[in-house]
Amino acid sequence: MTEARGSAGLHGETYPPGTPCWVSLMVHGMAATQDFYGALFGWEFRPGPQQLGPYVRALLDGHEVAGIGQLPSDRHLPIAWTPYLASADVDKTAAMVRHCGGTVGVGPLDAADAGRMAIASDSSGAVFGIWQAAAHLGTAVAGVPGTPAWNELFTRDAIGVAKFYETVFGYEEESLTAADADYVTLRVGGRPVAGIHGVGRSLPRDRGPHWLTSFEVADTDEAVTRVTDLGGHLLKPARDTPHGRVATVADPEGAVFSLVHTLVHTEGRTNR
């Protein structure tokens, strides 16, 4: 994981194309999920666009940080946090996704006056969102507990999938040179914004290629305890990394995410 400070679109500006600008979770139990994340991160909630069904935006100290939506009762889809990547033109980006071997499962469609969106899968099958901002720019604060800190794609072969994202979004790439590592950092304007981790046969068969969102916390071990007390599950115990102390957990419906207390903290920044 690489630190991505200053990723929020500041002073009312949209995120640069390719930058993760929002994370969203679709679940069956909206009320229970809001209770869980509200207790874990201190989020409050208000209604958002309803084009795909009931949807709320999570707020931290009045700033929007994430979204939670209701899955139709007859849809048995994987419960997972989905990062949205910024686009200046979601229709053109969706067309490029198809051209590069990906698929577009939802949209492009308007989300009221908030913006225009699509949900797609890359060439390996990992699901991500595309967001063209209008009234809603995306995550409005970064670098404080309860905010998205980093998004990382786990796939079989990092280099091959990185070509897909480079072509679709115009990323600059930085490959890790260690002999036993298969990792690509995606950069926008020279700044790291996301990572791709090739894990080969270690990729979980029940999940396949997938994006993983990390959320900032003040104390990783304490946050893990809160997760389990609230009915979630510990998947990978807290461990120290060059970028901070990290643990991987799942919420009560099974959505997997990471908790991270980064080594360097900066003042939270807002785009409002």
Using one digit for the tens of pLDDT, what is the confidence trace for 128-164?
Answer: 999 999 999 999 999 999 999 999 999 999 988 999 9
SS3 content of the chain, % helix, strand, coil (to 5): 15, 40, 40
Q: Cα separation of 104 and 168, whole Å?
A: 13
Which of the four pLDDT bands, split at 50, 70 and 90, describes residue 6? very low
pLDDT digits (tens, 9 = 90+) for 193-245: 999 999 888 888 878 999 999 999 999 999 999 999 999 999 999 999 988 99
For residue 7, the model assigns a pLDDT of 36
| C-alpha–C-alpha distance, residues 83 and 166, integer Å | 17
pLDDT value at position 173? 76
What is the pTM for the complete model shown?
Answer: 0.90
pLDDT at 16: 96
CA 183 to chain centre: 18
60 confidence band (pLDDT: 50, 70, 90): very high
Q: Is the pLDDT of residue 272 over 50?
A: no
**DSSP codes joined into one string, 116-153:** EEEEEE-TTS-EEEEEEESS--S--EESSTTSEEEEEE
Angle at 271 between CA 93 and CA 36, to 5 degrees: 85
Give which of 46, 248, 78, 240 is closest to 150, Cα–Cα: 248
Q: What is the pLDDT of residue 74?
A: 73
Joined together, the tokens standing for residue 190 give: 């020279």
Q: Are strands 20-27 and 183-188 parallel, antiparallel or unpaired?
A: unpaired
- Asked if pLDDT for residue 180 goes beyond 70, the answer is no
Q: What is the pLDDT of residue 213?
A: 98
Q: What is the pLDDT of residues 82-141, one digit of tens each?
A: 999 999 999 999 999 999 999 999 999 999 899 999 999 999 999 999 999 999 999 999
Find out whether 23 and 37 touch, Cβ atoms under 8 Å. Answer: no
pLDDT score at 147: 97
Output the CA–CA distances (angstroms, integers) from residue 171 to 24, 76, 103, 188, 229, in the order listed: 22, 33, 19, 6, 40
Residue 229 is predicted with a pLDDT of 98
For residue 10, what pLDDT is reported? 41
Report, as an integer, the average pLDDT of 249-268: 82
Which one, of 49, 144, 134, 36, lies nearest residue 87 by Cα?
134
Sheet hosting strand 103-111, strand order edge to edge: 44-47, 55-60, 63-70, 20-27, 81-86, 127-133, 115-121, 103-111
